[in-house]
Structure 1
Amino acid sequence: MAEAILMAVTKIGSVLTEEATKAVIAKLSEKVTNLKELPVKIEQIRKQLTMMGNVISKIGTVYLTDEVVKSWIGEVRNVAYHVEDVMDKYSYHVLQIKEEGFLKKYFIKGTHYAKVFSEIADEVVEVEKEIQEVVRMKDQWLQPCQLVANPLTEMERQRSQDSFPEFVKDEDLVGIKDNRILLTGWLYSEEPEGTVITVSGMGGLGKSTLVTNVYEREKINFPAHAWIVVSQIYTVEDLLRKLLWKIGYTEQPLSAGIDKMDVHDLKKEIQPRLQNKKYLIVLDDVWEPEVYFQIHDVFHNLQGSRIIITTRKDHVAGISSSTRHLELQPLSNRDAFDLFCRRAFYNKKGHMCPKELDAIATSIVDRCHGLPLAIVTIGSMLSSRQQLDFWKQTYNQLQSELSNNIHVRAILNLSYHDLSADLRNCFLYCCLFPEDYFMSRDILVRLWVAEGFVLSKDKNTPEMVAEGNLMELIHRNMLEVVDYDELGRVNSCKMHDIVRELAISVAKEERFAAATDYGTMIQMDRNVRRLSSYGWKDDTALKIKLPRLRTALALGVISSSPETLSSILSGSSYLTVLELQDSAVTEVPALIGSLFNLRYIGLRRTNVKSLPDSIENLSNLQTLDIKQTKIEKLPRGLGKITKLRHLLADNYTDEKRTEFRYFVGVQAPKELSNMEELQTLETVESSNDLAEQLKRLMQLRSLWIDNISAADCANLFATLSNMPLLSSLLLAAKDENEALCFKDLKPRSADLHKLVIRGQWAKGTLNCPIFLGHGTHLKYLALSWCNLGEDPLEMLAPHLPNLTYLKLNNMHSARTLVLSAGSFPNLKTLYLRHMHDVSQLHFIDGALPCIEAMYIVSLPKLDKVPQGIESLQSLKKLWLLGLPKGFKTQWVSSGMHQKILHVPEIRV
């Protein structure tokens, strides 16, 4: 590296004065020895970082109780993080020095690179000393045996402390009656697919409690029965050996035979003992489906016999048919309070809560969010201390009480321990979001990619891999789905509060992150790696310098003072993620351009009006989210950021928004065509040269274009047609009178599932390729302001058999809309809004067989109840709002409210 710099200096010597050249070379020569050794040392510490990572992953803090060992691992993590910082800085500047123009720019100013690489060399020396120190600490304070965790021993200990290890009496069971009846019914059902039954849910929901109760009640009716605890550490031999013992192995002498049998011998012994017998086998706490498939051949003559599997994982639950899968949910508020009282007031008649404790007891139960494990733990803890002050104190520290409780932590840690290293990072990252926060799938995925938690695998992009990780955490019941989008994908999810507290505790122990408030933030470790904070004040950041900070999340809380953000940025030169969504920030300081490591900027729904030109220096930036801000124009040099993958922007200035243009696109960067890695581009204004610029952006998946004129259509739509990966497309005309022609929109991408069109259609649009040729691929279609004059439902139905979401908004059409039998066979959501001419809706029997939600809003002429609506048996949600005054009267007189009792949610 030193030689490379000196050669570069010699090469550009002609642009410097002789004295300046000598001065630069002299400065470099001062540390030339260190600089020569720098690449070698960087490679050495890279290897040491890998070794540290192996140590950390092998000896996690989850199963360790020795505080000395925990402290030492914490020091190892700090050194590893320091190594990561040095490597990032080194890699960045090595890349920059290869660009001669960049090199000239800085050498003209002086000895920039001499200083930079001298600083890196100094840091390498410092890192080497830190590594020597942790090695010395290990040799001085730790014995080898302390560094070896015994997962088998620990898991067995934890398993013995399961939430309900004993049989719970019927009178102490709460909220499981319906599930018990259902499960019992399945045991005696004659349906052939009912042999295997699965019960799933997150740790602590009471799966084993429910199944234990049913098993103890019904096992007498099964001549052969056995309860086998599987857990994470198992061998096929051990499982078969336990099964053989429990179904009646009585050969003598006992130890002479069974302990020496292999899998084949054990199966051979089991099979005749189950032959011609009705049996009930419970496999409790199964983590992988292979458990069942490795031993299922011993189960034969299954008529009348049952196997029950309890699991935390959805893919294990998939062993049974969907009709024999029971997914447990948290307790209702009423059942949760009842369970709490039975534990807290177990020695009182009727388990009644005293009036003076009723309010605080309700608050405590609410914070447990229906998790039986948490409710029982806290109820038992409070049963011996029933003073109001003590209960208030417990409530104030409830989450830490639960996350630090050995009993609770043992159960939830099993799920954490089962995660791979990348899944652990993704899981812990979720605790940075506030309590009960709905985490967007798209934002989580982009954050995980920016953090480097996921990499591309074969043909899958990092985003695809990250989305797979999200689904894995959901399938493991470690994240809860809040809602699904119109295409059936997870739209947002959240963390159960108790799980979040556990994650916060682990994240703190493992030096991964800190989620804290203002009061504790000013006292935190200055080497904190990731920080999520709330309660920021105008002068908060000015008092805090966090030189190792990689991630700053402050959702909706950061001060509007420019000095606050400037202080954060100036003190955190390695910052990778800056997420300030919904915050009061109004200005982004120019110094943000010096953060070479920045990969993610989130300013959604802030009052920022512009971005500094220095942002063009962020060569590593992957995501820029400035949706719903006041930014009207992007920086001129944004197109220089060639690594940008997601550009999300729209102008939310009130003056520019109209009913037609409820969002306004921003002007595309001049060098947009250089950004070849772009996957998301939302939302840009159309222009004369946009089609040409888009030709090189063949990685685009989601593209939203606003302000399209009729003259743009031919070139623009031809370019869009050639994008091979396009999946989401929004096209908005410049105003409601601009008629767009779609004859040149012939999508090559079979993945184009979502299409949104706002504006008039040129005549004959329904005969264009986007509907005739591509219609079978569309799953989401939203049409606004495109006045068809005919029945759009009748016109669209033949071309869109796979549509799951259809929205028609603000258009003129025929007075009568008819949905014939078999139309839209996969449609789940129908949204009709501001359909100005519609006076009648007619659903013929057999239409919309899968419809779940229907929104009929602001149809000013619809004064009659939609005919045949009672035939929509799958309907779950019906909104009939903003209709003529006489509609409600007609609704009641028709008796329709009695005819659609199968619809659980109705708003009229």
Structure 2
Amino acid sequence: MSFFILSCNTHYLFCSAQMAEAILIAVTKIGSILGDEAIKAIIAKLSEKVTNLKELPVKVEQIRKHLNMMSNVIRQLGTVYLTDELVKSWIGEVRNVAYHVEDVMDKYSYHVLELKEEGEIADDVVGVEKEIQLVVQLKDQWLQPSQLVANPTEMERQQSQDSFPEFVQDDDLVGIENNRILLTGWLYSEESESTVITVSGMGGLGKSTLVSNVYEREKINFPAHAWITVSQIYTVDTLLRKLLWKIGYIEQSSSARIDKMDVHDLKKEIQQRLENKKCLIVLDDVWEQEVYFQIHDAFHNLQGSRILITTRKDHVAGLSSTTRHLELEPLSQPDAFDLFCRRAFYNKKDHMCPKELETIANSIVERCHGLPLAIVTIGSMLSSRQRLDIWKQTYNQLRSELSKNGHVRAILNLSYHDLSDDLRNCFLYCSLFPEDYHMSRDSLVRLWVAEGFVQSKEKNTPEMVAEGNLMELIHRNMLEVVDIDELGRVNTCKMHDIVRELAISVAKEERFASANDYGTMVQMPNDVRRLSSYEWKDDTALRVKLPRLRTVVSLGVISSSPGMLSSILSESNYLTVLELQDSEVTEVPASIGSLFNLRYIGLRRTKVKSLPESIENLPNLQTLDIKQTKIEKLPLACQGQETPAPSSR
């Protein structure tokens, strides 16, 4: 059983950035309610019999104004001022109010339309008013004007418009040619026996990029080939199943189902399919030697085969002979500057750096210490602004960040801080998925829309806006493209593990999301808003009460019963997203029908065979993903929902 835990050091600059986004969601929901003619009419009618409802719209508007003013104050804070613990504590109180407002507004819009709990809604709004008054008093009582001074060097945000560089092509890879030739030569060396090749180096040096380029060029010359991402969290049977699928395994009957095979059966099946075949197998991002030793007997006796391993760890690099080990080094200054210009000036002829920016550009590149991840990230960030003063501000901020962080992390911090408001939640949301997880474009778009992170803009639907956000995050190197579809669109993407560590640390600090292993779930704070786990074990003996929970992303639930799921569904009235893809769950509790706020249900590749009739009671359901399940019939009310069509696997 394995989980990913949200735990890393966080730096203060995130507080103002993410806090503004928390307020943005609350304010957006208030705006939707105040502009809803149906709600206005119902409030007017109800106020005739419930006196304290008459001024409800006015009170809600006042809450919106207060939140906007708080947002403006927080936006003025520079990163230096956020090292002040009093300021940080006050920002935390504002965040709590914003989260409470979001909950109350969801409840408001539903219950008013349903003509339910009129008096309770009014009481909730009054409660929020009191919280806001307390936050204002705290600011006036404890914070001095000097602590809230605007930062004169705050960076301009100028989001690039609809124009993104193409996905990475060979011409965009700088400084790898010699290493590519070396690795390719090792693939075709004279050794007749199976040979292990290792590529090592610190995070951000481009190990996977180099090996991927070699693999894609040369795999056609190997009758069997497979790329397996290992990462820190893995199980042997999962790795072997991945390998079996990659080498072309096709299930012939239910008795030969791959999910029923144990490790011994999986290895035997792999051996049979690879027999007398020369193969190329990449094990990407390996942290322990044990990984190789646990699975290598499935393929190590193959004649002329090559096993390519990428790793950050020296002891893993020792799996190969010294003559088949490549340790990557940082880029030289000329190559580093070339790579920077290719990203910063991607839309200029020959990617030439303007004369007036050459000096500051060289200084910025020097601070990247030859690390490709750092170079392309900051180059992408600066690509939409070509002003000398902005670049100087960026350089000064970078110097400040470098005093607290390593080179890559410092640059990623700046890049996160530079994201526009509507991108930050989309970025942090990706930390809910396991390390190296391939996130599909369609799923991310639907999830972001369901969460309320994107709104219609001009003639663009929320889905179109979400796709634009995805492309912007890719352009900024905050997400990496894994593959594209036949139309040239992004099909799946992932987070570099260093970028994900950043997202996890911010998500934890801002109480945006949390995850715990099975044994400590019960110890989580009861105001957690998003819960993420991987292969969580569902047990009837464990009960949790999470009244503020809005999202559950739990991929691969190991379920012997619906105990934990039933507990969450019965206690989490504000739940918006329930993602249980690839889980062993066999049924959905009937209590799901009481979740008025539920907008997304993901059951792809689960063992659910039917849905409870109560699912018809979900008024806000947007997406019901039952792809590759055994569900054959939908409740009548769900048949108009967006339900991905079945597929073969």
TM-score by length of 2: 0.56
2:644 to 641, 644, 648: 648
- Partner amino acid, structure 2, of 1:50: N
Within the candidate set 76, 79, 87, 1:69 is matched to 87
Corresponding position: 1:429 with 2:429: yes
The answer as to whether partners of 2:517 and 2:533 remain within 8 angstroms in 1 is yes
Q: Against the structure 1 CA distance between its residues 405 and 48, is the aligned structure 2 distance closer, same or farther, given a 3 Å change threshold?
A: same
Equivalents in 2 of 1:481, 1:146: separation in Å?
Answer: 42
Structure 1 gaps, min length 5:
10-27, 98-112, 156-174, 183-201, 217-226, 232-238, 245-279, 288-307, 320-401, 653-661, 664-908
Counterparts of 1:331-350 in structure 2, within 5 Å, are none
Name the aligned partner's letter for residue 283 of structure 1. Answer: A
Does structure 2 retain, via aligned residues, the 8 Å contact 1:454–1:466? yes
- Which residue in 2 is equivalent to 1:571? 571
1:475-874 matches, cutoff 5 A: 475-534=475-534, 536-539=536-539, 542-557=542-557, 559-639=559-639, 644=641, 646-650=642-646
Question: How many Å separate the matches in 1 of 2:122 and 2:424?
Answer: 33
- Secondary structure of 1:647's match? coil
Cα shift at 1:154: 10
Question: Could you report, residue by residue, the CA deviation over 1:513-569 in whole angstroms, capped at 9, with x for unpaired residues?
Answer: 224433453333321222212353434894321111111111112534222211111
Q: Matched residues in 1 for 2:45 and 2:377: separation?
A: 67
Q: What residue in structure 2 maps to residue 137 of structure 1?
A: 138
> Measured at CA, do residues 495 and 637 of structure 1 come closer, stay the same or move farther in structure 2, by a change above 3 Å?
same
Residue 299 of structure 1 corresponds to none
Rounded to whole Å, the distance in 2 between the matches of 1:154 and 1:636 is 52
Aligned to 1:763: none
- Summarize the Cα distance change of 1:630–1:429 in structure 2 as closer, same or farther, 3 Å threshold: same
Question: Compared with structure 1, are the counterparts of its residues 510 and 441 closer, same or farther at alpha carbon in structure 2 (3 Å cutoff)?
Answer: same
Distance 1:514 1:309 in 2: 30
Q: Distance in 2 between matches of 1:7 and 1:412?
A: 52
The alpha-carbon deviation at position 33 of structure 1 amounts to 3.1
Partner of 2:122 in structure 1?
Answer: 121
Q: 2:254 matched to which residue of 1? A: none
Where does residue 445 of structure 2 map in the other structure?
445
Per-residue deviation at 1:509? 1.7
Deviations 1:121-141 (Å, cap 9, x if unpaired)?
222222122112222222232
Confirm or deny that 1:81 pairs with 2:148.
no
Question: Once the 2 structures are TM-superposed, how far is the Cα of residue 593 of structure 1 from its aligned partner?
Answer: 1.4
What SS class does the counterpart of residue 468 from structure 1 fall into? Answer: helix
- The letter for the 1-side match of 2:379 is R
Rounded Cα–Cα distance in structure 1 between residues aligned with 2:561 and 2:431: 27
* Contact 1:283/1:309, CA 8 A, preserved across alignment: no
One of 32, 49, 64 as aligned partner of 1:46: 64
Report the AA paired with residue 521 of structure 2: M
Alignment check: 8 A CA contact 1:46 1:87 kept = no
The one-character-per-residue Cα deviations of 1:636-678 (angstroms, maximum 9, x if unpaired) are 2224x6xx4x21243x9xxxxxxxxx58xxxxxxxxxxxxxxx
**Separation in structure 2 between the aligned mates of residue 410 and residue 129 of structure 1, nearest angstrom:** 39
Match of 1:93? 111
**549-558 vs 430-439, which moves further:** 549-558
Q: Secondary structure at the match of 1:532?
A: strand
Distance 1:572 1:55, change over 3 A: farther
Structure 2, gaps ≥5 residues long:
1-38, 157-173, 182-201, 207-328, 346-352, 366-374, 387-401
1:179 Cα offset (Å): 7.5
Kindly state the Cα deviation for residue 180 of structure 1 after the two structures are TM-superposed: 11
SS of residue paired to 2:153: helix
Q: Secondary structure at the match of 2:54?
A: helix
Contact 2:449 2:463 in 1 (8 A): yes
> In 2, distance between residues paired with 1:615 and 1:581?
18
Residue by residue over 1:562-616, the C-alpha shift from the partner in whole angstroms, topping out at 9 and shown as x without a partner, is: 2221111111111111111111211111221111111111010111111111212
Q: Deviations over 1:466-508 (max 9, x none)?
A: 1111111111111111112222221111111111111111112
Change (3 A) 1:179 1:459: farther
**In the alignment, which residue of structure 1 is the partner of 2:272?**
none
1:285/1:312 contact within 8 Å kept:
no
Q: Say if 1:406 and 1:52 are closer, same or farther in 2 by CA, change over 3 A.
A: farther
The one-letter code of the counterpart of 2:122 is: A
Secondary structure of 2:449 counterpart = helix
* 1:212 pairs with one of 307, 327, 333: 333
Q: Secondary structure at the match of 2:503?
A: helix
Map residues 386-397 of structure 1 onto 2, 5 A cutoff.
none
Secondary structure in 1 matching 2:531: strand
Structure 1 pair 619–411 and aligned structure 2 pair: CA distance change class (3 A): same
Deviation at 1:48, TM superposition (A): 2.8
Query: Does the 8 A contact of 2:479 with 2:494 survive in 1?
Result: yes
Distance 1:130 1:282, change over 3 A: closer
Q: What one-letter code is carried by the residue in structure 2 that aligns with 1:95?
A: L
Deviation at 1:77, TM superposition (A): 0.8
Separation in structure 2 between the aligned mates of residue 153 and residue 459 of structure 1, nearest angstrom = 31
Residue of structure 2 equivalent to 1:463: 463
Residue 518 and residue 618 in structure 1: after superposition, are their counterparts in 2 closer, same or farther (change >3 A)? Answer: same
Shift of 1:51: 3.5
Shift of residue 42, structure 1, vs aligned partner = 2.4
- What is aligned with 1:689? none
Asked whether the 8 Å contact 1:430–1:495 carries over to 2, the reply is yes
- Structure 1 Cα separation of the partners of residues 44 and 95 of structure 2: 36
Q: In structure 2, how many angstroms separate the alpha carbons of the residues matched to 1:180 and 1:213? A: 17
State the secondary structure of the residue aligned to 1:419: coil
C-alpha displacement at 1:75, in angstroms?
1.6
CA distance in 2, matches of 1:85, 1:60: 29
Secondary structure at the residue paired with 1:575? Answer: coil
Deviation, 1:210, is 3.5
Contact 1:285/1:311, CA 8 A, preserved across alignment? no
Q: Higher helix proportion, which one?
A: 2
C-alpha separation in 2, matches of 1:618 and 1:82: 22
Q: How far did residue 415 of structure 1 move?
A: 0.9
Task: Sort the Cα spacing of 1:495 and 1:36 in 2 relative to 1 into closer, same or farther, 3 A.
Answer: same
**Change beyond 3 A, Cα 1:180–1:138:** farther
Name the CA shift for 1:133/1:60 in 2 (closer, same or farther; >3 Å): farther
TM norm structure 1: 0.41
Output the CA distance in 1 between the equivalents of 2:559 and 2:480: 31
